[in-house]
Amino acid sequence: MDKIKERPAAQMEAADPDTIVRTHWGEVWKYLFFMTRSHSTADDLTQDTFIRALRGLDSFRHEASMKTWLLRIARNTYINHKRSAFVRRVLTFAEVQPTQTQTSAENVYLAEAGERRIWELVFRLPDKLRETLLLEAHYGMTAREGAEWLGIPEGTYKSRLSRARSRMERWMNEEGST
């Protein structure tokens, strides 16, 4: 009997490239955008992530969710990209505005001045702190999950998260007192 026919329905759906891309493209893109701060770079790295994932689909062992597996590939793709010399560019928040023609409720909300400033401060954080804050705030990962995902001790994860929060609070207080 064909091995594909022997797979459970959930695995069949997970193995369908179109379903994988449609289901997870947005989350992978968001993660890469928050790490790169660039629409075009997030587009490119998301495409690279899915190419790598689909080529290596046979190596997916279902020990983690498809989303977790793809985010791990996205992280590795980002790290490889960051190591390249041409990536040393600074973005202002004005360059981070969505490219959509229609304004969504989310875009209107993000356009508010206070929210813009918070994102500017988040983007000032070093990668390790920004990534930890993103995993906790956006993806809702626990300290254990985030630490496991990053491959670091839980104490290190908690320390990074604490430092990220402290810096954000300090920067916001400094701005409030000026």
Predicted pLDDT of residue 117: 77
Full set of structural domains in the chain with CATH:
10-87 (1.10.1740.10), 110-178 (1.10.10.10)
Q: Among residues 178, 144, 137, which one has the least CA distance to residue 158?
A: 144
pLDDT classification of 43: cutoffs 50, 70, 90: very high
pLDDT classification of 85: cutoffs 50, 70, 90: very low
Task: Please provide the DSSP assignment of 83-137 as one string.
Answer: HSGGG-----GGGGS---SSPPHHHHHHHSHHHHHHHHHHHHS-HHHHHHHHHHH
pTM of the model: 0.58
Q: Among residues 145, 41, 39, which one has the least CA distance to residue 97?
A: 39
Kindly tell me the sign of the dihedral angle through the C-alpha atoms of 83, 88, 90, 96: negative
